[in-house]
Amino acid sequence: MKDAKAEILARIRRGLGESPQTEPLPAPLDPALSVEDLEEAFRKAVEGLGGSWHAAEDPIQALKAVQSLTEKEEANLCLLSRHPLVERVVNSGPLEISCVRAGQAADMEDLERADIGLAAATWGAASTGTLILSAADEGTRIASLSPPVSIVLLPASGLCSDLSEFFDHQSAETARNSALTLVSGPSRTGDIELTLSTGVHGPGVLHVILCRFQSQTGPATEQEPL
């Protein structure tokens, strides 16, 4: 389709005229909503979207929160992402539920059987309660997507007040990331009579665990004793 490309570009240039009057590109806007207490704002936003909010001071507390959520949800098989924070939390003690790691799932059937997912965000934007998941860190796109219940670990160190802050500073992330996913609340639809219904394709239930401990990012730190 070489011809198509050349022709479309020619049409555009012809349409703009010989010397297109270039409008200047305005600077990005400052965010209107600034947030004072990041964690509190985040909690409110997540709960406002119908998610639940938990906080953990160390990996063992986080693991306990995961354990109690899997029990509460009566889950049988947990799909784990490969995020270092997930690794750190599940390696901090025994988790009494069968687990399968994304990418190691024997087949699609395993994926379909997984009824809870454990993933981790790399950043979070408080004003909208948005979790930002990186496919590069997660090693998967679906641990936070396929199971009907989703637990997402959120490192306190990755919080910012507004999404515009994230977009202002993290454009380089796209180079190492085939997919960044912004998650704000559970999966929802209003397609039938505008009646809100959750869990249509993604998880209908979202639990966020704020992790007030260091996220580890490389294999070297992963080997440190917990």
Query: Which residues, 107 to 126, sit near another protein by CB under 8 A?
Result: 108, 111-112
How many residues are there in the chain?
226
Residue 178 as a binder of another protein (CB under 8 A): the answer is yes
Name the residue nearer to another protein (CB basis): 63 or 120: 120
Q: How far apart are CA 220 and CA 223, in angstroms?
A: 6
**Least distance between another protein and beta carbon 158 (Å):** 16
In the list 96, 195, 223, 224, the residue contacting another protein (rule: CB under 8 A) is 195
Contact in structure between 69 and 118 (CB atoms under 8 Å):
no
For another protein, which is the closer residue by CB, 179 or 226? 179
Specify the 3-state DSSP secondary structure of 135.
Answer: helix
Residue 27 Cα to chain centre, angstroms:
28
Q: Which of 94, 171, 223, 225 is in the footprint of another protein by CB under 8 A? A: 171
166 C-beta neighbours (distance < 10 Å), count: 20
Tell how strand 188-189 and strand 197-198 pair up. antiparallel
Residue 56 tokens, joined: 């953990």
- In the window 69-88, what residues touch another protein (CB under 8 A)? none
SS3 123: strand
Residue type, 52: S
Nearer to another protein, 57 or 222 (CB): 222
C-beta of 73: minimal distance to another protein in Å? 16
Q: Which of 72, 200, 221, 226 binds another protein (CB under 8 A)?
A: 200
- Say whether residue 161 binds another protein (CB under 8 A): no
Stretch binding another protein (CB under 8 A), from 24-32, 34-42, 58-66, 115-123: 24-32
